[in-house]
């Protein structure tokens, strides 16, 4: 099964983020935009693993859930990896980033104890809004950057849990399922 660990948004915030990105979608229809129901922040991509790993992962994450605190993050500001001239990913950032960086680092540590390789790149607090499958025309990239720079929405997000997620690839894109939600701040395991 294909696994990752995420910090998810509630349905209302997902819809707000999706609606806020509408001008970006109009500016760059060639980007593969993420539907509202799939918006989340990936803390750790694990990949294809045997189903037997899930229970061990859940146990490790419950242990760290007692040591990490829930936090509030503001989602605002658009960007692109690596940049808007050659975008691969269009995103909205999260500030302050430090609490999410701490959570992602703890998730990475917990996964490493299970033999899952550590992340090679530093964690960047963001939500992926779209993926660029083919290079954008220069004019389309410039327009996308201009519209992104003109947007100033900000959304409050309470990060109260981390979720073990299963991703199932399909013809219409992936579908995600929460396998287990681990509360932050010492919430009891059901």
* Domain definitions of the chain by residue range: 2-182
Percent of the chain with pLDDT over 90: 92
Q: What band does 189 get if pLDDT is binned at 50, 70 and 90?
A: very low
Q: Torsion over CA of 13, 133, 30 and 24, rounded to 10 degrees?
A: 30
Mean of all residue pLDDT scores within the chain: 94
Out of 66, 126, 152, 158, the active site residue is 126
Please, where are the H alpha helices in 46-96? 53-65
Asked if 153 and 67 count as a contact pair (C-beta separation under 8 A), the reply is no
Question: What is the pLDDT, as a whole number, of residue 186?
Answer: 53
- How is residue 95 written in tokens? 């500030």
Q: Tell me the average pLDDT across 120-132.
A: 96
Task: Name the pLDDT band for 158 (thresholds 50, 70, 90).
Answer: very high
Q: Is 152 a catalytic residue?
A: no
Residue 190 has pLDDT above 50, yes or no: no
Q: What are the two backbone dihedrals, phi and then psi, of residue 46, each rounded to the nearest 5 degrees?
A: -105, -40
Radius of gyration of the chain (CA): 17
State the average pLDDT over residues 44-66.
Answer: 93
158 is catalytic: no
Per-residue pLDDT at 32 exceeds 70: yes
CA nearest to 96, candidates 53, 125, 132: 125
Backbone torsion region of residue 173, taken as left when φ is above 0, otherwise alpha when ψ lies between -120 and 50, otherwise beta: left
**In b/e form, how buried is each residue of 125-147, taking b as 16+ CB within 10 angstroms?**
bbbbbbebeeebeeebbebbbeb
Is the separation of the CB atoms in 85 and 141 below 8 Å? yes
With 0-12 / 13-18 / 19 or more C-beta atoms within 10 angstroms meaning exposed / middle / buried, residue 188 is: exposed
In the prediction, which pLDDT does 45 show? 97
Name the DSSP class of 88.
Answer: S
Instruction: State the greatest distance between any 2 C-alpha atoms of the chain, in Å, as a whole number.
Output: 53
Point out the catalytic residue in the list 40, 66, 152, 158: 40
Say which DSSP state 65 is in.
Answer: H
The CATH code of the domain at 2-182 is 3.90.1140.10
pTM of structure: 0.93
């Amino acid at each position: 099964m294909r696994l990752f660990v995420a910090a998810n948004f509630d349905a209302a915030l997902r819809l707000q983020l999706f609606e806020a990105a509408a001008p970006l979608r109009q500016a760059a229809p060639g980007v593969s935009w993420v539907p509202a129901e799939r918006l989340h922040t990936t803390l750790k991509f694990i990949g294809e693993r045997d189903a037997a790993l899930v229970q061990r992962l859940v146990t490790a994450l419950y242990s760290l859930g007692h040591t990490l605190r829930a936090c509030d993050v503001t989602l605002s500001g658009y960007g692109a990896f690596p940049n808007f001239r050659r975008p691969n990913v269009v995103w909205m950032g999260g500030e302050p980033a430090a609490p999410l960086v701490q959570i992602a680092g703890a998730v990475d540590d917990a996964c490493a104890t299970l033999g899952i390789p550590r992340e090679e790149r530093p964690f960047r607090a963001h939500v992926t809004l779209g993926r660029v499958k083919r290079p954008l025309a220069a004019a389309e990239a410039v327009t996308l950057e201009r519209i992104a720079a003109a947007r100033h929405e900000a959304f409050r997000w309470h990060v109260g849990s981390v979720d073990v997620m299963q991703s199932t690839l399909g013809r219409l894109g992936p579908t995600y399922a929460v396998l287990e939600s681990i509360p932050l701040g010492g919430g009891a395991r059901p």
